[in-house]
Chains A and B, each alone.
Chain A
Amino acid sequence: MKYKTWIVVLSLILSSALLIGGARMLSVHDHGGEQKRVATSFYPIYIAALNLTEGIDEIEVINLTEGQTDCLHDFTLRPQDMVTLEGCAALLINGGGMETFLTAVDGAYPALPIIDSSAGMENHAAPAAEMHDHDHDHDHDHGENTHYWLSPAHYEMQIEALCHGLTEVFPQYQKQIEANAESYIADVHRLQEAYRTQMAPYAGQHIVILNEAFAYLAMDCGLEVAGSVHMEQDTALSAALLGQITDSIRAHDVSVVLAEPQYSGALAQTVERETGALVCTLDAATGGANHPDAYLNCMYENLDLLVRALKGKG
């Protein structure tokens, strides 16, 4: 080999060693200790798991998608996530196909127990996945609406499923986990009651939702969904669909449109300008404080916003 080629090869090897060495020093690998870890796929499941394991110091809950604030649609596993999963006793998921990265997990850790919070959910009422203008014939298939947690009633079932799974993985903590589940379900039940009583005057009222996630919330509140858009970050909305939403709002005299800031900010403003309907921006509870009460606080806030919006125009 020529002198120049040797220089190139040697400098590449040297740089590689330096870079890897440097990266190793900055390494983020710090898991260890005697704690048993469970991983959750994303925020609402993480908050549920925090509640279920409250007071059990030996179980540490890790959220795989920490810092991620949407519904996992474009989440890619990083090497560290796969490493995190290796030491885990179980992976808690929302289920229903929301976690698209599961095939990679399955391939790498076939023995890792996966606790699906939506187990048995198929037997319960789910809102229609999507409604456009009713005159049109649509053959869309957007799959099931898996934003269960936005219905306190469904969230209760998720907690039960997670509790059942966790007690199987940690039989030694069964009593404590079950007691935690009971207390958290009681809290969520109170939330459900609050929704029922405060939303009772508005039952049957038509609304339009700009994120299919809110279909569950509308169902719990007894609101009729006159139009719904399957809105994701990357979807370009067709003019026809925007026209259909506007038509539905006018046809059903809809006064409130539910939107989520992340996906539908600009769209919401367009709809508001076009129809004069009030846009109520709610939190889909997909990110926030890492506190056991975070879900409850967020849902009570949503209730407040919803009541205010319906009162304002209703």
Chain B
Amino acid sequence: MELIYQLMETLLPVSWIHYDFMKNALLAVLMIAPLFGLMGTMVVNNGMAFFSDAVGHSALCGIAIGVVLGLSDTTPAMIAFAVLFAVGLNLIRQTNHASADTIISVFSSLGVAAGLAILSRGGDFSRYSGMLVGDILSIAPRELAYLAGALVLTVIFWLFGFNALHAVSVNRSLARSRRIPVAVIDMLFAVLIAVIVTLSIKWIGLLMINAMLILPAAASRNISSTVREYHLYSILFSCFSGITGLVMSYYLNIASGPMIVILAAAVFFVTHLFRGRARN
């Protein structure tokens, strides 16, 4: 870790890099940004935007269960619950004829309601309200390792599963006829979203995590004409808003998460202006 810190100080001759918390936050952004940029393209393609939001909301229930079980670190409970939530939602979505957004809405509201109900009985919601906005400045080196793990996992899934996932997003029947295990791919992707959203929620915040996931991909879709461009631009936009937002938040004394999301939204609007022209 010391080596990375030294390297950062040598490469970046700016005042804020001398603070360890800024170094950690920058490292976190450097991992979260490409991770979300990549994940976002798949989420947007497969119409899972609302799903990732629901998973974010379910984290509240995970926290509540962790608190009731007396766990000092609620992250494992949150991840376990989010995975269960994702699997349950996916199973019901595959067997019920109601539209996906209806089912997701049912689960999302249930997650929040159950979380609030449990916390109103035996917990203290206000202690966890920090989760709503997140705090990337308090990230510790150990937690950076989790994020690195999540990034590796996502890249592996992207390398080996993207084509299948893309086929599923285009046409499920066609994908099936090509012997693609549609249900398995769906489930794996849902679980991956659940794990990644839950892992990052503490740093980005429940209210903004979906924006981080969706905005870069949506902006990229505005101007890209090939799948390759779509992924590349999404990662570039994500990194741009992450890094610039973090540094601006330092100078302007604004909370980092919201600053990053505002920039990501600005990129979306700018790309929207160039929409037709860039595609041609």
Nearest CB on A from B250, distance (A)? 4
A to B contact number (C-beta, < 8 Å):
117
Chain B residue numbers with a CB within 8 Å of A139 are 122
Contact with B along A1-38 (1 / 0, CB 8 A): 01011001100100110011001101111000000000
CA distance A86 to B137 in the complex (A): 14
With an 8 Å Cβ cutoff, the count of chain A residues facing the other chain is 45
Interface check B199, CB cutoff 8 A? no
If A5-B229, A15-B240, A100-B130 touch, whether A23 touches B137 (CB-CB below 8 Å) is no
Q: Is the CB of A107 within 8 A of B251?
A: no
In chain A, what residue has the closest Cβ to B18?
A86
Contact residues of A: prevailing secondary structure:
loop
Chain B residue numbers with a CB within 8 Å of A24 are 251
In chain A, what residue has the closest Cβ to B279?
A4
In chain B, what residue has the closest Cβ to A231?
B126
Interface check B146, CB cutoff 8 A? no
Q: Is the CB of A238 within 8 A of B255?
A: no
Chain A residue numbers with a CB within 8 Å of B134 are 76
Contact with B along A223-259 (1 / 0, CB 8 A): 0000000101111101000000000000000000000
Nearest CB on A from B71, distance (A)? 14
Q: Is the CB of B251 within 8 A of A235?
A: no
CA distance A108 to B129 in the complex (A): 22
Nearest CB on B from A139, distance (A)? 7
Q: Is the CB of A9 within 8 A of B19?
A: no
Chain A residue numbers with a CB within 8 Å of B101 are none
With an 8 Å Cβ cutoff, the count of chain B residues facing the other chain is 44
Q: Is the CB of B120 within 8 A of A235?
A: yes
If A8-B236, A23-B252 touch, whether A100 touches B19 (CB-CB below 8 Å) is no
Chain A residue numbers with a CB within 8 Å of B278 are 4
Chain A residue numbers with a CB within 8 Å of B229 are 2, 4-5
Q: B-side interface residues toward A, CB under 8 Å? A: 16, 19-22, 25, 116, 120-122, 124-127, 129-130, 132-135, 137-138, 140, 223, 229, 232-233, 236-237, 240, 243-244, 247-256, 263, 278
Q: What would 19 more interface pairs be, CB under 8 Å, given A75-B130, A104-B138, A235-B126?
A: A2-B229, A4-B223, A5-B229, A5-B233, A8-B223, A16-B244, A20-B251, A74-B130, A76-B255, A80-B250, A100-B130, A104-B137, A107-B140, A108-B19, A108-B20, A230-B124, A232-B124, A232-B126, A235-B125
Q: A-side interface residues toward B, CB under 8 Å? A: 2, 4-5, 8-9, 12, 15-16, 19-20, 23-24, 26-29, 73-80, 82-83, 86, 100-101, 103-104, 107-108, 139-143, 230, 232-236, 238
Q: 10 A-B contacts, Cβ less than 8 Å apart?
A: A5-B233, A74-B126, A74-B132, A76-B130, A77-B137, A78-B137, A82-B21, A101-B135, A141-B122, A236-B120
